[in-house]
Structure 1
Amino acid sequence: MPNKDLRTALKVAISANLGWGFELFDLVVYLYVANTIAPLFFPAIDKTASLLEFLLTLVVGYFARPLGGIFFGHYGDRIGRKRLWFISLLGMGLVTIFMGFLPTYNQIGILATVLLVILRILQGFFLAGEWGGGMTLVTEFAPDKLRGFLGGLQQGGAALGLIFAVIANEVALALAPGTAFQTLGWRIMFWFGAIPLIIALAVRWKVGESLEWLTKVADKPEKIPIATVFRRWWKMVVIATIVLFANGSIYYGIIAYMPTFLALHTSLSSYEIDNIVLATNLIWLFVSPLTGYLSDILRIRKLLIGILGFVIGVLVYPIISLLYTGSYILGIIAGIVMGFLFAFQYSIFPAWLSENISTNVRYSYIAFSINLGVAFSSFAPYIVTALGLALNNAVLGIATFDISAAIIGGIIALLSPRDKVGTSLQ
C-alpha cells in the first residue's frame, strides 16, 4: 500500500471534526432547550415530570443508533466509506432543521409528541453512520504512528457541537428574548444548524475514498459484515460497548446535561451557564488531539483508558459539587477539569477501536459497538434526574450513577487485546 499522506489525513480529520461537531450539535441542542420545550410537547402539572418524559425521547432516539450502525456499517464495508458518511450527515441535518418547524402539543395535540419522537428516531439512525464513519475513515487515512493524534482531532468535534449550541443559544436569546424564546427562540436554535451543516458538507464533498478499503476490501467485501463481527470479534463488541457506555454516561450525565442541571439547580444566568459550557468544551476541543497524540508517543491505549476511568470516577463528586454551588468561577473551574479528563479518554477511542479489528468489517464493528454503548448511556440524564429526586440530592444523584459507570468502564477496557500502536491496520 502507498505511504499515507499526512496532509490528506489532516483534511479528512478536519472534515470528520466538523461533521461530528454538527451532528452532536443536533443532539445536544435538544438537551440545551429541554427545560423550555419539554412542557410544549409533554404538558404536565409538574415541571420535573414533564422534563422526565421529555428525556425519555432522548433514549428512544438513541436506541435507533445501533440499527443505524448496522445499516451504515453494512454498506460502508461493502460499497465504500465516503458515500455513506456523506448521506448520514445530510440526513441528520435535514431532520434537525425539520424539528424547528414542529407544531406544539397545544396546536395539534398528541400528534406533536409523535412527530417529535419520529424525528428523534431518525436523528439517532443517521448519527450512527456519522460517528462510526468518521472514526473509520480518519484512522484508515492516518499514518500508522499518528492514529491517536488524528483520531483525537476527529473526536474533538463533539466539543464543537456544544460550542455551536452555545452560539445558537446566544443568537436565539438575542433574536427572541424573554417569553419569545418559548415560542420562537428554541426553533431558531434548531434552524441555526443549517449553517454548520453547509460548511461540513462542503468540506466533506472533497474527501476521497479510503485506500485501506480500496486495496483490501473493494474487490472482495464481506457478504454480511456484522455477522462476521459477531462470529469472530464478539468479545471486542462486548468490551467496546461497555467502555463506550461508561464514557457516554459521563458525557450525557454531566457535560451535555450541564445546561439543564445548572438551570434547574442554580441561579446562574443563561449567559453564565453558556460560558461554563463554553469553557468546558473549548478545553476539550483543543486538548483532544494532544491527548490522542500522547497515546501515540507512550504507545499505550487501553491502560490510559482504564486509568482515566478510575480518575474520573474519583473526581466526579467534587466536580458536580462545585457546579452545584452556583458559583460562576467554581463552575468554570469544574467544567475545565471535567472537559480535560473526558477529552483525554475520549480522544483515544478511534485508534483503540480501529487497531483491534479487520478492515473488511471495521465500519460495521465500530458503528454498532459505539452506538449500542451510547444508546444505553442515553438513560443518564433521565437516571440522574430521577436519582436526584429519590435521594433528595441532585449532586448525589449524578455522582452515584457516574462514579459506578466510570470505574466499570475503566476495568473492562483493561480486558481488551494487547495494544497495536504504530503497526499497520489488519
Structure 2
Amino acid sequence: MGENNFAESLKVALSANLGWGFELYDLIVYLYAAPYIADLFFPKGNYIASLLNALLIMVLGYFARPLGAIIWGHVGDRIGRKVTWFIVLVGMGLATVLIGFLPTYAQIGLLATLLLVILRMLQGIFLGGEWAGGLTMTTEFAPNNMRGLLGGVAQGGAGLASVWAAAALALASALAPSKEAMIAYGWRILFWFGVIPLAIALFVRWSIGESSVWLTKGKPSVEKIPFLALVRKYWFFIIVATVVVFGESLIYYGSIGYFGTLLPLLGYSREALVLASLAAGLAWVFLGPLFGYLSDKAGRRRTMLAIYYAIAALTLYPIWSLIASGSMEALVLGAALIGAIFSSQYSLLPAWLAETIETKVRYSGIGLILNLGVAFSSFAPYISTFLLNSIGKTYGTLVAISLVTIVGAIVAMVFVLLSKDRCCQELL
C-alpha cells in the first residue's frame, strides 16, 4: 500500500524472513536428527523401520498445521496480525527447545514417544499461524509494485533455515564427532541451537506495528467466523492453490528438506550435508528476491510460476544425477541448483495468494492453503526413503529420488494455470 514506505515494508519482510527461517529450521533439524533418534524413540531392531516411523511422526506434526492455520487465522483476522504473529513464534520456539530435553524410550518407555508426538504436533499448530502471518504482513505492508520482491525476501527465510541448520549440524559435529556421540547427546544440540535464531527473530519482530491494510479494510468488516466466510467465497481457489502448494512442497520435501535423511543414505558424510545445505540455502536466500522482483516487472505471476515449474520438471532428473554421483563438487553444485529452482517458484507465492484473497479473510486463507498443501506433501521423505530401500542402488536410486519431485513440479504447473492473475493490483 502507498501509505507504507519501503523501509518499513522491508523491515516487516525481514522479520517474516527471520521468523520463517526459525520455524522451518525446527523442521529441517528434525530430519537431520531422524537418523540418530530413530532407534531412541522407535526401537524396532531394524534401522530403516525405525527411520520410517520417525518420518511418520514428522507427518503427524504437519497435519497439525492446517488446524493451527484455522485457529490462528481466526485470531489474526478478528483481533489483529501483530499480536498473533508474536504469540505463534514464541510457542513454536518453546516446543522446539523442549524436544532437545526429552528422555528416550530406554528411560521412560512409550511415554517418550508420546511426548515427542505431542511436541511435534504443537510445533505444527504454532507453525500454522507463523508462516501465514509472515506472508500476510509482508504483502499488506508492501507497495503494490513490490509484493513480489518483498515476498521473495520473506520466503528467503526458508533458505536461511538451511543455513541455520548447517550451522547447528556443524556445531553438533564438532561437539559430538562420532555417530555414537550424536546418538548419545549430539542430536539434542540440534534442537537447543534453535534458541539463537529464535532470539534474533523475536528481537526484530517486537518493534513491528499493526498492518494498516487490516486496520482500514479488515477490522471494520470483521467476519464472525473468518474460516466459513473464506470457504464460501473462495472454495475453488482454495482447491487450486492447495494443490499448487502440494506440488511445490513435494519438490522441497523430496529435495532440500530431505537432505538430512537422504544424503547419509547415499553415503555422504555430515560435512557433505553441511555444504549441501549451505549451497541450497544461500542460493535460495539471494535469488528469491530477484525472482520476486522479476514477477513485479513482468506483471504476470501465474504465467511465471507455470514456467518455473516446467523448468523444474525438466531439470530435476539431471540435477539428481549430479547429487547421486558421489562427488562432493557435484553435490554442492546440484544443491545450489535445487535452491535456485525452488526459490524461483517459492518467492512468487505470497503475492499470488495475497492478491487473490480479500483482507478480512486473508490470514485464514493463506494459512489454510499453505499448511494444507504442505501437510499432504510431508509424506515425500517417507515415500522417497521407502522407494530407495525397495528399488535399490544406481539407476533405481535416481528413479526413487527424482520421481517425487518431478511429479510435484508437473502437478503445480498444471493447477497454477487454473487460477486468475491480479498481479500488482490494489489489495481487496
Whether TM exceeds 0.5 here: the answer is: yes
TM-score range, shorter chain: over 0.9
Distance 1:256 1:410 in 2: 21
Q: Is contact 1:276-1:331 (8 Å) kept?
A: yes
1:71 aligns with 2:60: no
Q: Which residue of 1 aligns with 2:171?
A: 171
Cα offset, 1:314, TM superposition: 1.6
Q: Which residue of 2 aligns with 1:220?
A: 221
1:400 aligns with 2:399: no
Which AA in structure 2 matches 1:395? L
SS at match of 1:218: helix
Q: Which residue of 2 aligns with 1:240?
A: 241
Cα offset, 1:295, TM superposition: 0.4
Cα offset, 1:189, TM superposition: 1.1
Distance 1:119 1:364 in 2: 23
Distance 1:72 1:145 in 2: 28
Q: Which residue of 2 aligns with 1:424?
A: 426
Which AA in structure 2 matches 1:349? L
Q: Is contact 2:100-2:188 (8 Å) kept?
A: yes
Gapped regions of structure 1 (runs ≥ 5): none
Q: Is contact 1:58-1:120 (8 Å) kept?
A: yes
Q: Which residue of 2 aligns with 1:410?
A: 413
1:358 aligns with 2:358: yes
Distance 1:313 1:333 in 2: 18
Q: Which residue of 2 aligns with 1:112?
A: 112
SS at match of 1:341: helix
Cα offset, 1:176, TM superposition: 2.2
1:198 aligns with 2:164: no
Distance 1:247 1:284 in 2: 15
Which AA in structure 2 matches 1:425? L
Instruction: Kindly provide the CA deviation profile for residues 169-219 of structure 1, in whole angstroms up to 9, marking residues without a partner as x.
Output: 111111222122211111111011111111100110100000000011213
Q: Is contact 2:42-2:54 (8 Å) kept?
A: yes
Which AA in structure 2 matches 1:83? V
Q: Which residue of 2 aligns with 1:293?
A: 293
Distance 2:259 2:96 in 1: 21
Distance 1:231 1:351 in 2: 22
Cα offset, 1:378, TM superposition: 0.3
Cα offset, 1:320, TM superposition: 1.5
Gapped regions of structure 2 (runs ≥ 5): none
Cα offset, 1:321, TM superposition: 1.7
Cα offset, 1:47, TM superposition: 0.9
SS at match of 2:220: coil
Distance 2:59 2:362 in 1: 26
Which AA in structure 2 matches 1:15? S
Cα offset, 1:394, TM superposition: 2.7
Distance 1:206 1:294 in 2: 30
Which AA in structure 2 matches 1:402? T
Which AA in structure 2 matches 1:167? A
Distance 2:305 2:221 in 1: 34
Report matched runs for 1:26-37 at 5 Å.
26-37=26-37
Distance 2:352 2:161 in 1: 23
Instruction: Kindly provide the CA deviation profile for residues 299-318 of structure 1, in whole angstroms up to 9, marking residues without a partner as x.
Output: 11111111111211122221
Q: TM-score, normalised by structure 1?
A: 0.98
Distance 2:245 2:314 in 1: 18
Report matched runs for 1:74-89 at 5 Å.
74-89=74-89
Q: Which residue of 2 aligns with 1:98?
A: 98
Q: Is contact 2:165-2:277 (8 Å) kept?
A: no
Q: Is contact 1:62-1:378 (8 Å) kept?
A: yes
Cα offset, 1:262, TM superposition: 1.0
Cα offset, 1:60, TM superposition: 0.3
Q: Which residue of 1 aligns with 2:19?
A: 19
Distance 1:128 1:186 in 2: 25
Distance 1:396 1:121 in 2: 32
Distance 1:156 1:55 in 2: 25
Q: TM-score, normalised by structure 2?
A: 0.97
Distance 1:313 1:387 in 2: 19
Q: Is contact 2:249-2:408 (8 Å) kept?
A: no
Cα offset, 1:386, TM superposition: 1.2
Which AA in structure 1 matches 2:412? G
Q: Is contact 1:259-1:274 (8 Å) kept?
A: no
Distance 1:12 1:416 in 2: 27
1:159 aligns with 2:159: yes
Cα offset, 1:2, TM superposition: 5.7
Cα offset, 1:3, TM superposition: 2.2
Q: Which residue of 2 aligns with 1:254?
A: 255
Q: Which residue of 1 aligns with 2:275?
A: 275
Distance 1:244 1:49 in 2: 29
Q: Percent identity?
A: 52
Instruction: Kindly provide the CA deviation profile for residues 284-341 of structure 1, in whole angstroms up to 9, marking residues without a partner as x.
Output: 0100011101100011111111111121112222111211111100111111111111
Which AA in structure 2 matches 1:421? C
Aligned CA RMSD, in angstroms, stands at 1.1
Q: Is contact 1:262-1:326 (8 Å) kept?
A: no
Q: Is contact 1:253-1:381 (8 Å) kept?
A: yes
Q: Is contact 2:173-2:270 (8 Å) kept?
A: no
Moved more, 27-36 or 313-322: 313-322
Cα offset, 1:220, TM superposition: 2.5
Distance 2:404 2:165 in 1: 26
Which AA in structure 2 matches 1:225? P
Runs of 4+ in 1 over 3 A off after TM superposition: none
Distance 1:153 1:383 in 2: 31
Which AA in structure 2 matches 1:294? L
Which AA in structure 1 matches 2:212? L
Distance 1:380 1:259 in 2: 13
1:59 aligns with 2:53: no
Moved more, 177-186 or 20-29: 177-186
Which AA in structure 2 matches 1:242? V
Q: Is contact 2:2-2:144 (8 Å) kept?
A: no
Which AA in structure 1 matches 2:261? T
1:229 aligns with 2:230: yes
